[in-house]
Amino acid sequence: MDILNYVISNVSLPMAQTAVDNNQEALEIIGEQINWIISLGGAVVLSITANLVTNPVQDIIARFSKARATKRVSQIQKEIQSLEDYFSEPLTLIAYAIKSLLSILLYFGFAEVVSALDRPFFNLLYLGGFVIEILVPFCIGYLYLKAILIAQDVLSTFRKLDSWPKYKLQQEAVIQKINSKKSS
């Protein structure tokens, strides 16, 4: 019986405690990763929602103010002109796509570099723990978000060009609607 008590108290319990500690560390790491995934997913959803709502809201606001109406019309005309250039000169569109792709890769690369830097590196720079806990994740999130917004802009441009004649007619109708409200 003494041997069994010795094994239970000196071998089994420390091993069990080590396993519990390892499981808690694993859960903390998984929790941090899930937090990042949820945050990034939420940022993407909010960004897409904001981009979908922006143009209709701007059109509604433009109906109430002549200055805003003029600004919105010039904004739409500028977009039509740039899309017309892309549509008529495919090399310009290819250059835009390549430039955007390189920007996306650079932002993702910078985010990966910042996230790969270890805490001892920041401690060498004499940054406090609070700064590291707040600033570094914010920077990483900003870099990822910037890359996603660039990708979203490129995809939006391609979507507009895919149905170019229809999109151009829709935008010209919006201009006419704004101008009719502006003149009345």
pTM across the whole model: 0.61
Span 118-150, pLDDT tens digits: 666 655 555 555 566 677 778 888 999 999 999
What is the amino acid identity at position 75? Answer: Q
Which of 107 and 17 is assigned the larger pLDDT?
107
Instruction: Output the pLDDT for position 100.
Output: 96
Written as six digits, the tokens of 105 are 């890769």
Span 25-84, pLDDT tens digits: 766 777 677 777 777 788 788 877 877 777 777 777 766 777 887 888 899 999 999 999
Percentage of the chain beyond pLDDT 90 is 35
152 with 51: CB under 8 angstroms? yes
Q: Please name which of 144, 165, 151 lies closest in space to residue 83, comparing C-alpha atoms.
A: 165
Instruction: Output the pLDDT for position 3.
Output: 61
Instruction: Output the pLDDT for position 115.
Output: 80
Span 5-15, pLDDT tens digits: 655 555 555 55
Q: How far apart are CA 50 and CA 153, in angstroms?
A: 13
- 47 CB-contact burial (10 Å; exposed 0-12 / middle 13-18 / buried 19+): middle
Domain range annotation of the chain:
2-183
